[in-house]
Structure 1
C-alpha cells in the first residue's frame, strides 16, 4: 500500500542564536523535527516565516541567489530538546544571512518566536509534502 500520509512537525526550535537575542540573524541554527523520514533536501527548498509584528520572511536552501541558508538532514540518530530522533527526521537549517523580507512588519527584521506559514520542497520519502495544518510550527 502506498504511503499517502503527509509528515508533520513534532518539534521546531532555534538551537543556536548567533546574533542578537530574539532576532533571526546569520549563523542562527533552526531544528525542525518531522513525524517521519524526509526526502533529501534540494537547492531552492524554502520556508516562509512570520512573526508577531507582521514581518514575513523567506529562508531558502542554497548559496546562490536567492539562497540564504543551508538545509541538512540528520544521517544518524540526533537528540533535540532531550529527545532522540531517528536518521532522516531532523532538518537542520543554518542561516547564512538574515532571512529575505517578503513583507515588513512594525519592527525591522524577523523576530522569534516565528511561525512557519508555508514551505516548498520538503517532502517525505514517498513524496508527500510536509503538512503545516497541524504540528509544532512555532520556532522559538
Structure 2
C-alpha cells in the first residue's frame, strides 16, 4: 500500500532466459479512475528501470467505484452522478449471474454465487463500462 487511497499489486512473475525476474502488476487508485499497469525487471544488482504500460482511455468516463474487490458477496457500487445505471454480473463464460439497476449507491448481493472471477457491466444510457471482480468467500 502506497498510502490510504492507493494500493499496488504484483499479479504475475517469470524468469527470462538470462535469469532476470520479471514482475507484472498494477497500481489501484481508489480516489481516481486511473489505474496503471507496471512491469519491473530485476537482476542480481537490483531493480532495473520500470516502464509504463497503461493505456490511456480518452473516451467519455462514467465515474464509479466498486468495492471491496475481492468481495465476500456484498459488492458496493457507487456512481458519482445521480443518474440511474443498470448492471449485469456475468461469469467467465458470459452467463448472466445477476442484474438490476441502481442510482447513486447500490449494494449487490452475490453471496449465492460460487467463488471465482466475474465481470460487472454498468450501463448508463448508451455507454457501457466493465470491471473484473473476484468473489472469494
Could you tell me the TM-score, scaled by structure 1's length? 0.28
Structure whose CA Rg is larger: 2
In terms of fraction of residues, the more strand-rich structure is 2
Q: Which has the higher contact order (CA 8 A, sep 6+)?
A: 1
Normalised by the length of structure 2, the TM-score is 0.28
